[in-house]
Homo-oligomer: A and B are copies of this chain.
């Protein structure tokens, strides 16, 4: 949970010489992030970004190579950290204790994700939009799932199955259901920032409980004809 700082904190790493982000760059990124979240990347013009940031249009290109460079600077930190982070927790779970149950594993996983979404709504909205609109960006996001991490995830799932903690379905399907549940929460949160009906603790409870029950081993499998 220590790694769940705000995305803004990562800007520094990808910009400026010594990890320093200048005031101007912050103004530009902030304006661009707001606009990209309001509309879409394609619908926002560089003029508009410059105006909102209170700088000249040329200044954008003095600080970023491209209009696309601005987008990258917004996405990069998330793309470079969100998935590793999500999968790092998996790692933790593996190492912690052999006797770990599905409960504990899923609860900690969900809690981290919920907190992260909560803190980075705007950036995630941009990423989400790009993910579905731009094949290249999609590839970038998905490319973060390294083979090793997948192997690790599979090991965790296999162990949980062997321990009788996890339903005996293909790992691929289990992952899909896990991502669906978290992704659905993300979408809800990102698109309806306004209506914050439930508090986070409640949300963590619902999502975790749903996943644990949905993925626990069955006594009697359901019959489909």
Chain B residues with CB under 8 A of A135 = 39
Taking CB as reference atom, which chain B residue is nearest A207? Answer: B177
Contact with B along A184-197 (1 / 0, CB 8 A): 11011001000001
Is there a chain B Cβ closer than 8 Å to A103's Cβ?
yes
Chain A contact residues, CB within 8 Å of chain B: 39-40, 42-43, 103, 107, 111, 128-129, 131-135, 138, 169-170, 172-173, 176-177, 179-181, 183-185, 187-188, 191, 197-198, 201, 204-216, 218, 221-222, 224
Complex Cα gap A46–B176 (Å) = 37
Query: So how many copies of this chain end up in the complex?
Result: 4
- Per the bound structure, the CA–CA distance linking A177 and B215 in Å amounts to 14
Given that A42-B42, A209-B218 are contacting pairs, would A198 and B170 also be in contact in the complex, using a CB cutoff of 8 Å? Answer: yes
Complex Cα distance, B103 from A221, in Å, reads: 11
Residue numbers in B under 8 Å from A204 (CB-CB) = 224
List 10 A-B residue pairs with CB atoms under 8 Å apart, sorted by A's residue number: A42-B43, A107-B222, A170-B198, A172-B197, A177-B184, A177-B207, A180-B187, A205-B222, A210-B215, A213-B214
